[in-house]
């Protein structure tokens, strides 16, 4: 964000307590904020296994930064979004603390319904935006962006006005909005969410906290971005699934789901839950799955000790059911499956007709 000209707090990143102390001195700020760097939210209310409470601390004494960093680095921080044993903190951010007079919410995200990027903003920032949308939907503002044209000046100013920035701050906020869009495009993001986009007593518009999601398909041209991904914080099963191009997320239930297509996978989890069961995972095979991937997916599912049954729900319109069937039978034989297996392979006449019709056209063209 800093490299793209977006206004953020002055900061350093440190991986030792002595580096954190030195960074605090170099900042020469009235107040300093120290943040544990992990890929999870809820850090402020988290707990370290060192006994320290809170992954975010404010202090006016640089010496305290070193003491706090000593209780953070090398210790596990547990929050509402981490595994139960927490995540080991390897780095901390030492930043200049700024007062915030007002907090707003701003995001740019890809919206399928609009066939491109959309700006979403609210003058009610610094809180759960879903809660704002539920209780005061009139305070949520949207602007559809023409991806060929980018964010126009009038759009940026209108959004800044909707975020209730006044006077010269309105132009400043509009400038930040345009810079955030430039960042969104430059790094192939699917989402740039700033919460809060705040206003300081000194008349600055600053991005105080942000979350950026990147398009996996752009990894080939965003190598520097993806090189920052700390795989040590990822779930080992999810990492193994990613090696086989499988989308896997572990859940708390006992019925394993084996599905193709993210929408069908979510619907399958919902149906299991609706009928009193609990899904053990979300697993999306995708459309171009091969037999080896089916086999590896079964290995992942059967390795979970919580799994007491496996439900296979395959839509044959986007994958060859024979590939799925061969992969399942191979897995059942070689993995010595011990739990009940329910399989649904569903073709549709519309898809069959479409394929046959295409073959007929291709045949006629060859003739």
Active site residues: 105, 193
Q: Burial-class residue 303 by CB neighbours within 10 Å (0-12, 13-18, 19+).
A: exposed
Contact 306, 280 (CB under 8 A): yes
Instruction: Output the CA–CA distances (angstroms, integers) from residue 212 to 18, 192, 217, 243, 362, in the order listed.
Output: 30, 5, 15, 23, 45
Taking Cα atoms as reference points, which of 86, 108, 93, 105 lies closest to residue 40?
A: 86
User: Measured between alpha carbons, how far is 50 from 54 in angstroms, rounded to an integer?
Assistant: 11
Within 10 angstroms of residue 122's Cβ, the number of other Cβ atoms is: 25
CB-based burial, 214-224: b 16+ in 10 Å, e otherwise: beeeeeeebee
CB-based burial, 197-206: b 16+ in 10 Å, e otherwise: bbbbeeeebb
CB-based burial, 67-99: b 16+ in 10 Å, e otherwise: ebbbbbbbbbbbbeebeeebbebebbbbbbbbe
The string of DSSP letters for 83-146 reads -TT-EE---EEEEE----SEEEEEEEEEEGGGTEEEEEEES--SS-HHHHHHH-GGG-EEEE-B
Phi, psi dihedrals of residue 250, rounded to the nearest 5°:
-75, 140
Q: Are strands 141-144 and 116-122 parallel, antiparallel or unpaired?
A: antiparallel
Instruction: Output the CA–CA distances (angstroms, integers) from residue 280 to 128, 243, 263, 318, in the order listed.
Output: 27, 20, 17, 24
Contact 10, 18 (CB under 8 A): no
């Amino acid at each position: 964000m800093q490299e793209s000209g977006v206004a953020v707090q002055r900061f350093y990143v440190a991986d030792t307590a002595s580096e954190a102390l030195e960074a605090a001195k170099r900042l020469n700020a009235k107040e300093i904020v120290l943040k544990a760097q992990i890929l999870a939210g809820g850090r402020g209310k988290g707990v370290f296994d060192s006994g320290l409470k809170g992954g975010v601390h404010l202090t006016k004494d640089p010496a305290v930064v070193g003491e706090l960093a000593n209780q953070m680095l090398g210790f596990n921080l547990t929050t509402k979004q981490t595994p139960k044993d927490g995540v080991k903190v390897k780095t901390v951010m030492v930043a200049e603390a700024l007062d915030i007079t007002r907090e707003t919410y701003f995001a740019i995200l890809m919206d399928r319904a609009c066939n491109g990027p959309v700006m979403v903003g609210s003058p009610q920032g610094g809180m759960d935006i879903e809660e704002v949308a539920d209780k005061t939907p009139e305070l949520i503002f949207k602007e559809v962006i023409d991806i060929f044209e980018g964010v126009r000046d009038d759009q940026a100013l209108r959004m800044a006005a909707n975020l209730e920035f006044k006077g010269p701050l309105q132009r400043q906020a509009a400038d930040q909005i345009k810079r955030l869009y430039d960042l969104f495009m430059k790094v192939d993001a699917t989402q740039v969410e700033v919460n809060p986009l705040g206003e300081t007593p000194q008349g600055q518009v600053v991005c105080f906290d942000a979350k950026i999601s990147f398009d996996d398909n752009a990894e080939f041209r965003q190598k520097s971005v993806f090189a920052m991904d700390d795989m040590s914080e990822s779930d080992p099963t999810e990492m193994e699934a990613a090696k086989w191009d499988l989308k896997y997320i572990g859940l708390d239930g006992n019925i394993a789901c084996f599905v193709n297509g993210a929408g069908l996978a979510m619907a399958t989890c919902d149906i299991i839950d609706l009928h009193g069961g609990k899904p053990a995972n979300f697993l999306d095979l995708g459309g171009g799955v091969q037999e080896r991937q089916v086999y590896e997916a079964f290995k992942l599912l059967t390795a979970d000790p919580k799994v007491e049954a496996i439900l296979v729900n395959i839509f044959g319109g986007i994958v060859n059911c024979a590939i799925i069937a061969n992969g399942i039978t191979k897995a059942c034989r070689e993995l010595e499956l011990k739990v009940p297996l329910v399989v649904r392979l569903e073709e549709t006449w519309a898809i069959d007709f479409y394929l046959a019709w295409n073959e007929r056209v291709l045949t006629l063209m060859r003739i």
